[in-house]
């Protein structure tokens, strides 16, 4: 009986015949399969992130969740395209018997870059950056307001006048943009941390009786999508990350 081998099947080297005369995958084939599985893991970050963005896109269009303004579908397609191309290059590099095998370096580099970049490009971080920019602008503007008026703003109108124009909110719901909303609490002796709105982008401006001290907090999303928002006051976070607090006497005011 003529032994079966890869040449008989037209694909050399895939099978070898053992002592019992039975065909089994060659050692080279097993190594290539294992290498393919290992290197394919470097395509997983892009593909998984693409799947996650598609799930987010479906939830956005089928529920009332709050979310960040972000190109979910577009970025998902880009992730799928890069991930599948990466996978194709991986398999081609492993199974081709030529210098093309050196191409396995490319999927590894792309996979490592994806693991580094993806966590810094999430929808939540885009809204967080907008919130931080807005509050930083308010913080700086209120210093100028105090130097001019010897007090802090006393109403929403004065708050917006003192804060000046800032970046727009990146929060949305059902395709509608949510602007920053300001709630002024007068005669306050501390920040508003409880009994807050469930929607993101609500700013609580609490000012003391004499208008010489203020606290600012904001409701934010804790994840990319959520049905409610809250004040970020998690243990371990520095106070300046979730609250602005200033006292007029700390500002150096020149003599009139």
**Confidence check: pLDDT of 18 > 80:** no
User: Mean of the pLDDT values across residues 226-239?
Assistant: 77
pLDDT on residue 100: 54
**Confidence check: pLDDT of 122 > 80:** yes
Q: What's the predicted TM-score (pTM) here? A: 0.74
DSSP string, 186-239: -S-SS---SS--SSTTEEEEEE-TTSSEEEEEEEE-SSSEES--EE---TTS-H
pLDDT band at 7; cut points 50, 70, 90: very low
pLDDT band at 241; cut points 50, 70, 90: confident
Model confidence pLDDT, tens digit, residues 134-144: 999 999 999 99
**Confidence check: pLDDT of 159 > 90:** yes
pLDDT on residue 11: 45
Nearest to 222 by CA among 244, 193, 200: 200
More confident residue, 193 or 97: 193
Strand 202-207 and strand 181-185: pairing? parallel
pLDDT on residue 150: 93
Percentage with pLDDT > 90 across the chain: 46
pLDDT on residue 128: 86
Domain ranges of the chain: 6-120, 123-250
More confident residue, 100 or 7: 100
User: Mean of the pLDDT values across residues 72-97?
Assistant: 82
Whether 202 and 196 have beta carbons less than 8 Å apart is answered as yes
pLDDT band at 177; cut points 50, 70, 90: very high
User: How far is residue 226 from each of residues 22, 77, 125, measured CA to CA in Å?
Assistant: 58, 23, 14
pLDDT band at 87; cut points 50, 70, 90: confident
Tokens found for residue 224: 């990319």
3-state class (DSSP) for residue 100: helix
pLDDT on residue 219: 95
pLDDT on residue 245: 93
Model confidence pLDDT, tens digit, residues 24-75: 555 667 777 776 677 677 778 889 899 999 999 999 999 999 999 999 999 9
Tokens found for residue 18: 């053992």
CA 126 distance to own-chain centroid: 7
Type and span of the H or E element at 177? strand 176-178
**Confidence check: pLDDT of 188 > 90:** yes
């Amino acid at each position: 009986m003529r032994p079966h081998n890869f040449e008989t099947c037209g694909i050399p080297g895939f099978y070898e015949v053992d002592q019992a005369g039975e065909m089994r995958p060659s050692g080279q084939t097993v190594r290539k399969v294992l290498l393919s599985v290992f290197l394919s893991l470097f395509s997983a970050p892009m593909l998984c992130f693409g799947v996650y963005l598609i799930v987010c896109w479906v939830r956005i269009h089928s529920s009332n969740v709050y979310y960040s303004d972000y190109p979910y579908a577009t970025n998902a397609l880009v992730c799928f395209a890069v991930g599948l191309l990466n996978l194709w290059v991986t398999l081609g590099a492993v199974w081709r018997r030529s210098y093309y095998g050196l191409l396995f370096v490319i999927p590894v580099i792309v996979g490592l870059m994806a693991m580094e970049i993806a966590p810094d490009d999430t929808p939540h971080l885009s809204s967080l950056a907008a919130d931080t920019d807005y509050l930083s602008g308010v913080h700086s503007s209120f210093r100028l307001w105090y130097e001019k008026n010897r007090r802090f703003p006393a109403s929403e109108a004065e708050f917006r006048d003192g804060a000046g124009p800032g970046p727009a909110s990146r929060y949305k719901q059902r395709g509608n943009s949510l602007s920053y909303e300001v709630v002024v609490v007068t005669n306050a002796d501390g920040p508003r941390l409880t009994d807050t709105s469930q929607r993101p982008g609500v700013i609580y401006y609490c000012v003391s009786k004499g208008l010489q001290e203020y606290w600012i907090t904001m409701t934010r999303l804790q994840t990319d999508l959520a049905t409610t928002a809250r004040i970020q006051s998690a243990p371990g976070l520095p106070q300046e990350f979730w609250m602005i607090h200033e006292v007029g006497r700390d500002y150096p005011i020149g003599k009139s």
